[in-house]
A and B are shown apart, each in its own frame.
Chain A
């Protein structure tokens, strides 16, 4: 096993990886940008090194600087987390050249699955079902319009190097195709430095089902069952759960087998995720491989009891898998809500600033993977994911009720978060019965919870008391009838002017 590990990331995932290292008794090294001097991962690690300025390309994306720190701190391995250098083959290769182990698949696998067009072609050739037109490009002689017509509308324009919804466009009619391709290509170029895009038939009303796989370097591979991530906003996952209401044991076994086949043909090692779309006819299609630790990995951990990050580190150090497929017996249900620093009541605009107070939920079946604390400054430089709330229950309803309780317990003061959005969403009938699909939020079909009259009254009382306390109060008023009007005018004026520029 390693002795010392560098975590090349920040935020909640850096903290998560550091915890696994500590559980394994490994020494830890954090890297941080100027904006993150006070961040949790710096505080939790044994050693910390500044690697540059706040913008990611001047710090968390600087491979040579991170390798330099790895050499200086004399670490055995680098865990990249997700995002940043998480699935970058060039970085994996740089680690190898520096004689440091990259915790993840090989550079060759990263290259293979990183190109979505090549990956789909390989899967299709291996007899794995892919979506019509998957990986379809066009050439001079076989024009774009013709290719679009053949695949059929609606279709998706996707980036070959894509991820996270960037460089992705839905096209519903032929005349919009050329513009969408140009736009997606520009976005892909800006985000990934590669403007290659491809077309794919869009299937609506589908579920997003993914399988967690773990493979060692000795030829063994297992899956940890599925996660359902159908609740998405603009192709970004918001709520994930494990298992899925849509799978029965037979379908689970079949999909799990295909996931392992994907792992085999791509020469996969370490932890990864195979994504599928599942349609209403229960046909499933390979979507892509995420060759890294996923944001939503905790739901699989909660139902299987496997610490995925610990397994990643063990496998990367050359050890054999500790589990066989038969050892994996998922128990109960887990749900995760991604807590984002965004204002759900104002179009999800980012909310940055100082976190004044935090009250984290606790109690049975509750897990919080967070990167914030009281006094922490949420900066505009990085992703808005600040924390993940995960609940577990014997059954889906129990996990769901616990999630509702935990969301109500979770108080974050100073910045706005998506917590209230989840509280409303989780009360919707469709979510409760598990009728999920990837259009769930776009259809806006979840009802606003009914107004509790007592709540409206309590809220009005709270607002009025707040207003009353903030207003300069008339002290000993000798002639109340005369002064009331005048002071009220002044008070309103002052109240308005002091509040105009506050958030």
Chain B
């Protein structure tokens, strides 16, 4: 299987062969062995005989890889898909209905908008307190507030729906 790992400023083709026991990268074939050592997030990785520990997390469709204190962010695509997306271009700003969700668990401090209110991209929709810090949740696009599902003082879980903007 051929993949492209798209980094911040690098595009690395990685081919996985022999059912994941070897990879071809940079013209070299290397044996690889990646073992889960913690909660499907922490892995021990052997590349030939070099030993690494990597913490991998998925976030917003990207893979965040933490290796020796350095964060590498990749979008991995199959080579075919990569070719297509290059032709199609990247999707622009979100269209239509946008569900605004809590970026983290916390306590709602205030909701400075009401249903029916017009908002512009960047406007503060909700102020959420977590660990004694206030965090502003902002509108990703222009639109009208359709529904507001939370009120000040309420405890919300991560990813809980806060409001809808259309």
Chain A residues within CB distance 8 Å of chain B? 55, 341-342, 345, 349-353, 356-357, 359, 379-384, 407-408, 411, 413-414, 419-420, 422-424, 449, 451-452, 454-469, 484-485, 488-489, 491-492, 495-496, 499-503
> Is B166 in contact with chain A by the CB < 8 A criterion?
no
Contact: A488 with B26, CB < 8 Å? no
Cβ proximity bits B88-114 to A, threshold 8 Å, 1 near / 0 not? 000000000000010111110000000
Q: Is the interface of B mostly helix, strand, loop or mixed?
A: strand
Let me know if A464 and B104 touch, CB within 8 A: no
User: In the complex, what residues of A have CB within 8 A of residue B105's CB?
Assistant: 352-353, 379-380
Please judge, given known A-B contacts A459-B65, A459-B74, whether A503 and B1 are in contact too, CB under 8 Å.
no
B61 within 8 A of A: yes
In the complex, the answer to whether A350 meets B5 with C-beta atoms within 8 Å is no
CA–CA, A127 and B41, complex, Å: 58
Assembled-state Cα–Cα distance A459/B50 (Å): 12
Check B72 against A463 for contact (C-beta < 8 Å).
yes
Docked-complex contact A451 and B45, CB < 8 angstroms:
no
* Residues of chain A with a CB closer than 8 A to B65's CB: 459, 462-463
Interface residues of B in 47-70 (CB under 8 A from A): 47, 50, 52-61, 63-70
Asked if B69 and A419 make an inter-chain contact with CB atoms under 8 angstroms apart, the answer reads yes
Q: Could you tell me the distance in whole angstroms from the C-beta of A437 to the nearest C-beta in chain B?
A: 23
In whole angstroms, how far apart are the Cα atoms of A468 and B23 in the complex?
12
Q: Are B104 and A350 in contact (CB under 8 A)?
A: yes
B28 vs chain A, min Cβ distance (A): 9
Residue of A nearest to B43 (CB): A462
B83 to chain A, nearest CB (A): 10
7 pairs, CB–CB < 8 Å, chain A vs chain B = A352-B158, A381-B107, A451-B70, A458-B45, A461-B32, A465-B32, A466-B43
Q: Is B148 an interface residue (CB 8 A)?
A: no
In the complex, the answer to whether A503 meets B45 with C-beta atoms within 8 Å is: no
Q: Is B121 an interface residue (CB 8 A)?
A: no
Shortest Cβ gap from A342 to chain B (Å): 8
A468 touches B80 (CB 8 A): no
Contact A350 B78 (CB under 8 A): no
Closest chain-B Cβ to A484's Cβ sits at a distance in Å of 6
Q: Contact between B69 and A501 (Cβ–Cβ < 8 Å)? A: no
* A380 pairs with B130, CB closer than 8 A: yes
Which of A468, A496, A503 is in CB contact (< 8 Å) with B3? A468
A350 to B131 alpha-carbon distance, docked (Å):
7
* CB-defined contacts of B78 to chain A, threshold 8 Å: 488, 491-492
Say yes or no: B61 contacts A455, CB within 8 Å.
no
Q: Is the CB of A456 within 8 A of B131?
A: no
CB pair A460 B158 closer than 8 Å: no
Known: A382-B132, A460-B74. 7 other contacts (CB 8 A): A353-B105, A356-B39, A384-B132, A461-B14, A462-B56, A462-B65, A464-B23
